[in-house]
Amino acid sequence: MTSPATPTGPVAPPPADRPLLPLHDQEPAERADAARNRVKVLGAAAELIRERGAEHLTMDAVATAAGVGKGTVFRRFGDRTGLLYAVLDSTEREFQAAFMFGPPPLGPGAAPLARLTAFGETALRHQLAHMNVYLESDRHTATRYTAAPRAVRTRHLVLLLRAAGVHGDLELLADALLGMLDPALIHDQLTRRGRSPEQLEAAWRDLVTRLAR
């Protein structure tokens, strides 16, 4: 089976008549010094995660590594979970751009069922690559369901389910599909239950095929 497309460079902007899905909450314009501090903090956080793992990330360590005050980090990101979400932001944006505007079968131009299949396979690979950060940022269940990336993924699956001719409560069905892509569940399947990434992708293909029937 041909592997689904993955982000590989710049993505062409959508046509003017195509409705846009919000990638993330729009942020107000930053002052130049605030923007520089944001870049330094996120760079320091990403480096500390690579060196020590996301579970050992602290706001104190990030502030020290970035050369800024701890208050600056808290004011900009709110708390540790907000900082972890910000670290994930750039990779999440690439994934979102790929499934909304990239080449088929992940992006527009393929049949709805093929896009549903590619979405799950690519999402699994994406989350495996960043599993440590996803698990840490997902420890507070309330933020899991209100995070902007979750809303984008839900809306995207609703559109694909409707295009595939699936009937019923499409938003609830989309949430059920996303449940299979939950980072904690994926981690449990791989570590405790001994399943492979290929088995998880095969299970996703089977699920969307059954649903489309």
Per-domain boundaries in the chain: 32-78, 88-212
Question: What confidence tens digit (pLDDT) does each residue in 28-46 have?
Answer: 556 888 889 999 999 999 9
CA distance 168 to 166: 7
Query: Structurally, what CATH architecture does the domain formed by 32-78 represent?
Result: Orthogonal Bundle (1.10)
Within 13 Å and on the Cβ side, how many CA atoms surround 15?
A: 3
Question: What confidence tens digit (pLDDT) does each residue in 50-97 have?
Answer: 999 998 999 999 999 999 999 999 999 999 988 998 998 878 999 999
Write down the pLDDT at residue 12: 38
Write down the pLDDT at residue 6: 41
Q: Which of 35-39, 88-92, 123-127, 200-204 has the lowest mean pLDDT?
A: 88-92
Nearest of 52, 51, 47, 72 to residue 60 by alpha carbon: 72
Write down the pLDDT at residue 35: 86
| DSSP-derived secondary structure for 67-132 | TS-HHHHHHHH-SHHHHHHHHHHHHHHHHHHHHHHSSTTTSBTB-HHHHHHHHHHHHHHHHHHTHH
Cβ atoms within 10 Å of 37's Cβ, excluding its own: 20
Confidence of residue 200 (pLDDT cuts 50, 70, 90): very high
